[in-house]
Amino acid sequence: MRSFFARFKLFGLVLLIVSAVIITLFYNALQPKKTLPVYQPSDFNPELVAPEISHVKKYHTIADFALVNQNGDTITQEDYRGHIYVADFFFTTCPTICPIMTENMRWLQDQLAGDPEVLLLSHSVTPEIDSVPRLKQYALEKGVDDARWNLVTGDKKHIYELARKSYLAVKTDGDGGPFDMIHTENFILVDRERRIRGTYDGTNMEDMERLLDDLEILRASYRE
């Protein structure tokens, strides 16, 4: 009789464990998976979008580019192929939001240390001032990791078109002056397919935390 109850107790314990596992699996299966939207020009404030693409509602991607980084190397979209990356626009002599943005980008770099899947890309909006030596000095001062974060300069018209028509991150087309681009504080999250998956206030630490969370969601989507 005692052995019968012992076996029944064991059976009950096994049944309880199996039931818990099944309930957990069902619960996880019923939970909606978190995903990030794919942003199009029509989703943005019209001030940030060139009029000729403001109507676009699908298939928007970052255009091909060729720029020069702080080491004098030519950087193109091929250097970012197969990677998620975060982009922004800045200039080295900016006294207002740029130092905060650069500090937060460096913080992001540090948080992602050891993760080769995510890269960073900062475009100078005053390329005639931000030469390669100036960018190199700035990179050294700010703790930029050359292996994962490019500060780029190059043809001004090319940079402006990227900002206005690809990354949707500036409020004017520029009038030819040295400081004519009214760039935003936005960090732009770009996926492996060169699509915009999120924008974040690069001066706001809460947004930086949100960016890290969204990066994990995006990385997870490629593991499924």
Note the pLDDT of residue 82. Answer: 96
The answer to whether residue 51 is domain-embedded is: yes
Contacts of 32 (CB under 8 A, 6+ apart): none
At residue 114, the 3 state secondary structure works out as coil
Q: How far apart are CA 6 and CA 43, in angstroms?
A: 65
Q: What is the CATH number of the domain that holds 94?
A: 3.40.30.10
Task: Print the domain residue range for 18.
Answer: 1-31
**pTM reported for the whole predicted model:** 0.83
Distance, in Å, from the CA atom of 95 to the CA atom of 103, rounded to the nearest integer, reads 13
The separation between CA 83 and the C-alpha centre of its own chain, rounded to angstroms, equals 10
Q: How far apart, in whole angstroms, are the C-alpha atoms of residue 196 and residue 166?
A: 9
Beta bridge partners of 120: 86, 149
Residue 113 shares a structural domain with residue 5: no
Residues 25 and 94 in one domain: no
Q: Which pLDDT does position 4 carry in this prediction? A: 47
Name the helix (H) or strand (E) containing 208: helix 205-223
Residues 154 and 50 in one domain: yes
Q: What is the pLDDT of residue 8?
A: 54
pLDDT along the chain (224 residues), means of 10: 53 53 48 83 89 91 98 98 97 92 97 94 94 98 97 94 92 60 87 98 97 97 87
Tell me, what's the pLDDT at 50? Answer: 86
pLDDT of residue 104: 98
pLDDT of the residue at 24: 45
Q: 93 in a domain, yes or no?
A: yes
Residues 10 and 54 grouped into a single domain: no
